[in-house]
């Protein structure tokens, strides 16, 4: 006790977790992504074929490719892993708002921090496209609603953005821009015809 | 059962040990069910800053658009977390890992996010340090294998019961350590942040008190030497946590059996009383 106290270890730096010794005989798995084994164990289900895209769809797809290429470039350029653009404590609180959630690994909020950035960027990007179609320079709630209505992966947000607003916005956008409806063949009176609830 | 029964006692202990900080953490944990409005959304300044990265300079954002994005982000987190948690429950696991989050995203249609986030997670683990980076991934396997070590489950469960309280008070990074026995021991160190070293070792005392007593004479020297060696290599207080971790690494290098007991011995030396209660 006495000798040890002469050299007390300094307190841990905020945000830097204390390391722990690796198990004896454990080998670091090779490969570009650490999560690859998990992905192999649980391959994602095959996605339904994408709907036929028009010229507008092709342009949008190209923009999306540029978007994700930019995401990769930003991730490769990331050097600061201590300061996140979104507070980890807040993310954790939102995760734990679900009473069924018990414990959360330290890396989960870190991944969410980046995922939410990408989510905000994608939603804003798609919303801005709608604002531009209406010759506006102010991003409005109706633009977000239109982006949600047009993007299948954002279906879980229909309760956050009123459907009426989305419907009106989308119809107005279509009328103003003279763009053919994405889901060709569906009745014009039902812009939300392509919507369906994904199985839980 | 053990975990839930120990939760109040663990909270009390943390409160008495760390004073105000952990008391605040305990209160925060109690307030969790009734989450406050300001805690339900991402800070609007952060959200706006991110939005502007994809908008042209002349673009303006209406207040209702800002609020809508805030709501959408919280819904996104809850949506993905719900799916990840369901997988954890199916596999009878208690901790949502980063891999569970990525799996949930691919399952819910956010396939485009999985590869960039996988790359990010990989680089994040590299940033955490070579020693920790190497240790973390192999550590995951023993965690899954925990079911095959029934004798060590009870101590780990006792330690895990304190996770929520402490996690609420400190950075989420530390919460990760509850996933397995060794990590649970590490958690003991983070329970009392100011004197990082002693509680760190004290945490190791929990799983094997007998072993700790037995290895007292041997434990002290390797930890001390390890810290000094790593201090010379990394230098400065900025790498204090890595320094401690590297010291433990040196201890584990001595052998499989002694590796798990070395830090616990030091813990016995430092803080016999606070943990003797258990």
* Position with higher pLDDT, B175 vs A4: A4
Q: Which of A52-56, A138-142, A195-199, B8-12 has the highest mean pLDDT?
A: A138-142
pLDDT surpassing 60 at residue B139:
no
Say if A133 is an interface residue toward chain B (CB within 8 Å).
no
B146: left (phi over 0), alpha (psi -120 to 50) or beta: alpha
What whole-number distance in Å separates Cα of residue A31 and Cα of residue B118?
12
Q: Which CATH architecture has domain B37-131?
A: Orthogonal Bundle (1.10)
Q: Which residues neighbour B42 within 8 Å (Cβ) at sequence distance 6 or greater?
A: A86, A87, A90, A91, A116, B70, B73, B74
| Structure confidence at residue B153 as a pLDDT band (50, 70, 90) | very low
**Which residue blocks in chain A are alpha helix, DSSP H?**
2-5, 36-41, 55-77, 88-96, 107-133, 141-150, 163-177
In B, which residues are within 8 Å of A81 by CB distance? 123-124, 127-128
pLDDT surpassing 90 at residue B191:
no
Residues 83-112 of A with CB under 8 A from B: 85-112
In A, which residues are within 8 Å of B51 by CB distance? 120-121, 124, 139
Q: Kindly state the average pLDDT of the residues B142-147.
A: 33
CB B247 within 8 A of CB B230: yes
* Position with higher pLDDT, B190 vs B58: B58
| Structure confidence at residue A18 as a pLDDT band (50, 70, 90) | low
| Structure confidence at residue B125 as a pLDDT band (50, 70, 90) | confident
Token representation of residue A68: 């994700």
Put simply, the answer to whether A25 touches B256 (Cβ < 8 Å) is: yes
| β-pair type (B60-61, A138-139) | parallel
Query: Which of A34, A47, A101 is closest, CB to CB, to B81?
Result: A101
Identify the H or E element spanning B197. Answer: helix B197-205
Domains of chain A as residue ranges with CATH: 81-157 (1.10.20.10)
Say if A7 is an interface residue toward chain B (CB within 8 Å).
yes
Chain A: give the shortest CA distance to residue B73, in Å: 6
pLDDT surpassing 60 at residue B126:
yes
Query: Which of B124, B139, B195 is closest, CB to CB, to A8?
Result: B195
Average pLDDT, rounded, for chain A: 67
What whole-number distance in Å separates Cα of residue A119 and Cα of residue A111?
12
Chain A: give the shortest CA distance to residue B119, in Å: 6
Could you tell me the maximum CA-CA distance found in chain A, to the nearest angstrom? Answer: 84
What whole-number distance in Å separates Cα of residue B111 and Cα of residue B98?
15
- Give residue B182's Cα distance to chain centre: 11
pLDDT surpassing 80 at residue A83:
no
% of chain B with per-residue pLDDT over 90 = 19
DSSP string covering B76-116: HHHHHHHHHHHHHHHTT--EE-HHHHHHHHHHTT-HHHHHH
Query: Which of A68, A116, A160 is closest, CB to CB, to B42?
Result: A116
Average pLDDT, rounded, for chain B: 54
Q: What is the pLDDT of residues A154-195, one digit of tens each?
A: 999 988 876 455 544 545 555 555 544 444 444 444 445 444
**Which pLDDT value is given to residue A47?**
46
pLDDT surpassing 60 at residue B93:
yes
């Amino acid at each position: 006790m006495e000798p040890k106290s002469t050299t007390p270890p300094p307190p841990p730096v905020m945000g830097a977790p204390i390391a722990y010794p690796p198990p004896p005989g454990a080998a670091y798995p090779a490969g570009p992504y650490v999560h690859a084994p998990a992905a192999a164990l649980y391959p994602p289900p095959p996605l339904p074929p994408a709907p036929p895209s028009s010229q507008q769809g092709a342009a949008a797809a190209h923009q999306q490719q540029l978007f994700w290429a930019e995401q990769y470039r930003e991730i490769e350029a990331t050097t600061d892993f201590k300061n996140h653009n979104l507070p980890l404590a807040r993310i954790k609180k939102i995760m734990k708002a679900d009473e069924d959630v018990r414990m959360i690994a330290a890396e989960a909020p870190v991944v969410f921090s980046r995922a939410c950035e990408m989510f905000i960027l994608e939603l804003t990007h798609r919303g801005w496209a709608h604002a531009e179609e209406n010759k506006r320079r102010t991003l409005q709630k109706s633009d977000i609603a239109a982006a949600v209505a047009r993007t299948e992966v954002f279906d879980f947000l229909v309760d956050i953005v009123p459907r009426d607003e989305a419907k009106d916005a989308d119809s107005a956008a279509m009328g103003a821009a003279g763009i053919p409806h994405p889901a060709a063949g569906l009745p014009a009176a039902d812009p939300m015809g392509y919507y369906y609830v994904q199985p839980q | 059962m053990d975990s839930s029964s120990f939760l109040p006692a663990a909270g009390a202990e943390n409160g008495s040990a760390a004073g105000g900080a952990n008391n605040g953490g305990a209160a925060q944990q109690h307030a969790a069910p009734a989450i406050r409005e300001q805690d339900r959304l991402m800070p609007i300044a952060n959200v706006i800053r991110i939005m502007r990265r994809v908008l042209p300079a002349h673009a303006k954002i209406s207040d209702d658009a800002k609020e809508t994005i805030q709501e959408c982000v919280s819904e996104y987190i809850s949506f993905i977390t719900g799916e990840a948690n369901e997988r954890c429950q199916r596999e009878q696991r208690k901790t949502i890992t980063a891999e569970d989050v990525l799996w949930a995203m691919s399952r819910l249609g956010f396939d485009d996010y999985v590869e960039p986030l996988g790359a990010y997670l990989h680089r994040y683990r590299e940033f955490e340090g070579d020693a920790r980076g190497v240790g973390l991934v192999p550590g995951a396997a023993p965690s899954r294998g925990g079911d095959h070590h029934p004798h060590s489950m009870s101590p780990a469960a006792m330690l895990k019961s304190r996770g929520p309280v402490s996690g609420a008070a400190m950075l989420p990074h530390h919460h990760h350590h509850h996933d397995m026995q060794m990590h649970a021991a590490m958690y003991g160190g983070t329970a009392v942040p100011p004197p990082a070293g002693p509680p760190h070792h004290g945490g190791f005392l929990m799983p094997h008190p007998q072993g700790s007593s037995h290895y007292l004479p041997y434990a002290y020297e390797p930890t001390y030497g390890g810290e000094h060696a790593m201090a010379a290599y990394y230098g400065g207080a900025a790498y204090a946590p890595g320094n401690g971790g590297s010291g433990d690494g040196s201890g584990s290098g001595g052998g499989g059996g002694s590796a798990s007991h070395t830090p616990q011995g030091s813990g016995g030396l430092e803080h016999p009383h606070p943990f003797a209660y258990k």
